[in-house]
Chains A and B, each alone.
Chain A
Amino acid sequence: MATVQIIYAHPDPAASRVNKTMVAAVDGAPGIAVHDLYAAYPDFYVDVGREKALLAAADIVVLQHPLYWYSAPALMKEWIDRVLERGWAYGKGGTALQGKKMLSAISAGGPPGAYEAEGYNKYSIDEFLRPFERTAVLCGMDWLPPFVFQGAYGTDDTKVSDHGQGYRAHLIQLQGEGE
């Protein structure tokens, strides 16, 4: 069974609804591990060796975070900058991640209609995630279609918990495909 490593970044987990529910939903699923970056590195000092070991052991890497200013919260960016070292993740001899899969699991405040050419934000989520997509490809990883929750504000609880269950099912399915 393919192993899933979720790299989770939420600076304010106490106030989270969507992401908290997602994390709770995958809890205990075999072969799926969550690594909370803001809990592990509250002072932004990312332990590169430890992170590399986590990635090396995983088949599927999930970057889970809320969309903040059309991007990821700051520690996720710091994590990418530090961990994906040249000579390890890319560049000469940088083959550690080759053949692994990467999935972005995103929650956004803006509703679906807002992420269209005619919508409020002018571009689709896919387009906003291009930097992540290129990062994955540059490291030789397969970029999977992102798993997105839109319209986080004001949604009812069932939608949120359905999303959590959907998340779990989606990851388990990916695990199966990874065989």
Chain B
Amino acid sequence: MEGGVLLAAFFFLAAAVAVVPFAQRWGLGSVLGYLAAGVLIGPFGLKLVTNPTDILHFAEFGVVMMLFLIGLELEPAKLWRLRRPIVGLGGAQMLATTAAITSVAYFAGFTWQAGLAVGMALALSSTAIALQTLSERNLLGTAAGQSAFSVLLFQDVSVILILAILPLLAVGTGVIDPEHPIDGDAVAGWIRALTVVGVVAGIVVAGRYLLRPVFRFIAGSGSREIFTAFSLLLVVGIALAMQLIGLSPALGTFLAGVVLANSEYRLALESDIEPFKALLLGLFFISVGMSIQFDLVIEAPLQIALLVAGLIAVKLVLLAILGRVFGLGRDQNLVFTFALAQGGEFAFVLFQFATVEGALTPEQTAPLVVVVALTMAITPLLMLLLERVIQPALASAAPKRPDDEMEPQDNPVIIIGYGRFGQIIGRFLHAYGIESTVLDNDPDHVEVLRRFGSSVFYGDATRIDLLESAGGDRAKLIVIAIDDVDKTVEAAGAISERFPKAKILARARNRQEVYRLMDAGVHALRRETFDSALSLAGEAMTMLGAHPYTVRRNMRLFADHDEQALAKGYEVQHDMESQASLARQMRDELAGIMQSDGADEVDDDDRHQGWGGD
């Protein structure tokens, strides 16, 4: 970095800005974009930055911050609820994967000690890659996301253990006596354990009782940047303390996050740390991209490819089995499996540590480091493969079974999508004695509804053959109540073409969707939140003292007016300017009507003429 820090920073930022937006736009996700940017400016690309490992160490702090933020989102109670997946699923994953990789290494000619070192290091997945890929897709809250998170958390804890075990695996530096393996270290071990417990307890207690007053004091001082500085200080400080006692900094800050999850400063902390985390994490991905040693790949392309494929395959298979054992549904299990099928950033640290301790030789670790980096880079690609190819293929293959089971249905109404929206329609019609044939693409949902005796079938809305068996050509009405507008449009188009006699009813979220659905041939539309919002608005006016009947009439007036605006807006839908002026005009008009209502200025004398006064 001859040009100094500024120049390096310039290259990093420039590369990120140049590559990431395109990756996002093409739906590849930011992680892949950063990795590509790293390759681009790295020693094997334009050679603009040449010391990736230094930067990698610095940028790993992004992972620490990420875990702090995740901790902030996780209240202790929620964490406690996750104990089964963390210990069970996480533990099983570590054991199984370590065992599998160790034996492969052993048969490939490693000593069992070296094999075990490799196995443990490679069993870890990448917290940064996995969590970022999941959160980018909004999947962290799903069962798959929670399971992945649990496994990663357990791995973080395991790192401590692995760091303790690695020196014992050093061949030649000391023969391990199987009877008294760590005899000499026993006392030190106790002290260490006590320190660890002490520090962790310290974090919890301080987080509970000390931090709040400090935060209050600093927040009271009113200077925003000092609050930010303190937030950073907190994270950095905890990370340092953890490093000092040999625990994972990520784990420590995670813990601190959990402790602070209930505090009133959570949101402020989050918004303070978030930008630092995002940038550092980006830097981290860039440096992973830079550190891929392509010369090793070129030297032994076949061997590296085989190792990469092998590592991913082993992980995929084991994760899939475990996910299944731990009760993940098929789709969730796929996401879980694909998200975690890579080596992790801890492997870099562990390999380095293992070489220093003499458990592994540099010749052994060099290709493995490349393999880990490559698997990390491949994860986003795997996720794309899952999303674009595997899931669609499974989705179109899966309904085969219910398709066979479905007797031709004769109900006058078909409801597609039986969530909260569709259910209300179905229940209302049912109360009239009108039965509907229901299609839903959530297997669990279908299962439950079937138990209640409804004729519910698993299937995708856009499958016209499925609608045929559902009785599409005999149905009077087809209600599309799914919340995916693209699918609704597709389904509506197919239905009006294939079953022209059926009237199509659909839900829309907003104006744009209304227009799209009108074009797709939908006969009746409701904006899903409009009625409930207006109803609550009416309640609000009533509480402010307006008379319920007047409010009622004005709600209707408002709705009709809005409907008109919607119709007028349809004509100018592609012209932002006239849309805006239309909206303004309609709004003023409405206010004019509603505010004059009830206070109209008709001359009193004029009125009383009507019934005989003069």
Contact = CB atoms under 8 A, between A and B. Distances in A.
B598 A12 contact: yes
Contacts of A153: 604-605, 607-608, 613
Nearest to A38: B549
A111 B547 contact: no
A108 interface: yes
8 contacts: A12-B550, A12-B598, A42-B548, A108-B611, A110-B613, A111-B613, A114-B611, A153-B605
A121 interface: yes
B552 interface: yes
Dominant secondary structure at the A interface:
loop
B612 interface: yes
A154 interface: yes
A140 B167 CA distance: 103
A152 B550 CA distance: 22
Contacts of B610: 109
Interface residues of B, number: 17
Q: Output the residue of B548, B552, B553 with the most chain A CB within 10 A.
A: B548
A154 B549 contact: no
B611 A154 contact: no
A152 B612 CA distance: 12
B41 interface: no
Given A15-B598, A154-B604, A154-B608, A109 B613 contact: yes
Contacts of B553: 42
Nearest to B600: A15
Contacts of B613: 109-111, 114, 151, 153-154
Interface of A: 11-15, 38-40, 42-43, 67, 108-111, 113-115, 119-121, 151-154
Contacts of A38: 547-549
A9 to B, nearest CB: 10
B551 interface: yes
A166 B550 CA distance: 29
B549 A11 contact: yes
Contacts of B611: 67, 108-110, 114, 120-121
A39 B547 CA distance: 7
Contact of A109 (B550, B551, B598, B608): B608
A65 to B, nearest CB: 13
Interface in B73-87: none
Interface in B546-571: 547-553
A114 B561 CA distance: 41
Nearest to A67: B611
A119 B612 contact: yes
A111 B610 CA distance: 11
B550 A14 contact: yes
A178 B259 CA distance: 71
Given A13-B547, A15-B598, 17 more contacts: A12-B598, A14-B550, A14-B598, A38-B548, A39-B547, A42-B549, A42-B551, A42-B552, A42-B553, A67-B611, A108-B611, A109-B608, A109-B611, A110-B613, A114-B613, A153-B613, A154-B613
Contacts of A14: 547, 550, 598-599
A121 B611 CA distance: 7
Nearest to B547: A13
